[in-house]
Structure 1
Amino acid sequence: MASPEKKEEVAENIGTPEFTAAMMAVSPVATKAWLDIMSESAKFVMERLQQDMETQKAILACKSPMELMQVQSDFISTAVKQYTEEVTRLFNVMSKATEETIEETRSGHSRGYDDVPL
């Protein structure tokens, strides 16, 4: 089992080009999948933060409690819909990555029963 210091060192190096190169050497398909997931996640977070800021502006512009409740209701509805869509997208990316990784590990060679010396 790795020490806490070693785990921290690995965590710090995950974003480095050397780490990416090492992953690429081990499994290009898994590396591509990892980068796709990170890219999709970052894109989603940026979009959500932008919408959060727009909602804050709308809240500050409210002139009545009913208007505030409508802004909050719209915000929650939109957020739930977007998070659901994002989970579906990530699930699809991960499913595709799993299939590609499994395909990559198959050697394409099968052993016959007569190739093992007795």
Structure 2
Amino acid sequence: MTEKSKTDTTTANEAVMASLTELQKAGFGSMAGLGTAWFESMSDMGAEVLSFISERIKEDVQTQHEILHCQDVTQLQHIQAEFIQKAINQYTAETGKLVEMGNQTLSEALAKASSQSKT
């Protein structure tokens, strides 16, 4: 098995840094400023997804509780139908929220990039 020398690794690292420097000089420097805003937006979206999952788990537990205490098949069918309909509504609403958050993030990023390119 061959080992890369420290010189080879250093040369490769210098080549990557040189490429990034050239990209920034070519006009991609504005992308560096988007990092923090983008990270915050992705963090907000992640928190939204976790909150949604938490709510859905509560719904699942509540439905299981109702199923365990139902008295007949008709009541069971009603519980299941309500559960499915509520899940569909919640997933649809959550998808809309996440799409809206993504669109807002993209709009803000494009506006920031546009303003930075004008300066």
Same fold, TM-score > 0.5, yes or no: yes
Greater helix proportion: 2
Identity of aligned residues (%): 25
Secondary structure at 1:27's aligned position in 2? helix
Tell which has more relative contact order, 1 or 2 (C-alpha 8 A, sep 6+): 2
Task: Extract structure 1 runs of 4+ deviating beyond 6 A.
Answer: none
Between Structure 1 and Structure 2, how many residues are aligned? 87
The corresponding residue for 1:28 is: 36
Shift of 1:108: 4.5
Gaps of 5+ in 2: 1-31
Pair 89,26 (structure 1): closer, same or farther in 2 beyond 3 Å: closer
Gaps of 5+ in 1: 1-23, 111-118
Spell out, residue by residue over 1:36-95, the C-alpha distance to the aligned partner (whole angstroms, 9 max, x if none). 110100000000001100000000011100000000000001000000000000010000
Q: Is the 8 A contact 1:29 1:104 kept in 2?
A: no
Secondary structure at 2:71's aligned position in 1? coil
Query: Structure 1 length normalisation: TM-score?
Result: 0.69
Aligned CA RMSD, in angstroms, stands at 1.8
Spell out, residue by residue over 1:2-42, the C-alpha distance to the aligned partner (whole angstroms, 9 max, x if none). xxxxxxxxxxxxxxxxxxxxxx9761111111011101000
Q: Is the 8 A contact 2:34 2:109 kept in 1?
A: no
The corresponding residue for 1:74 is: 82
Bigger Rg over Cα? 2
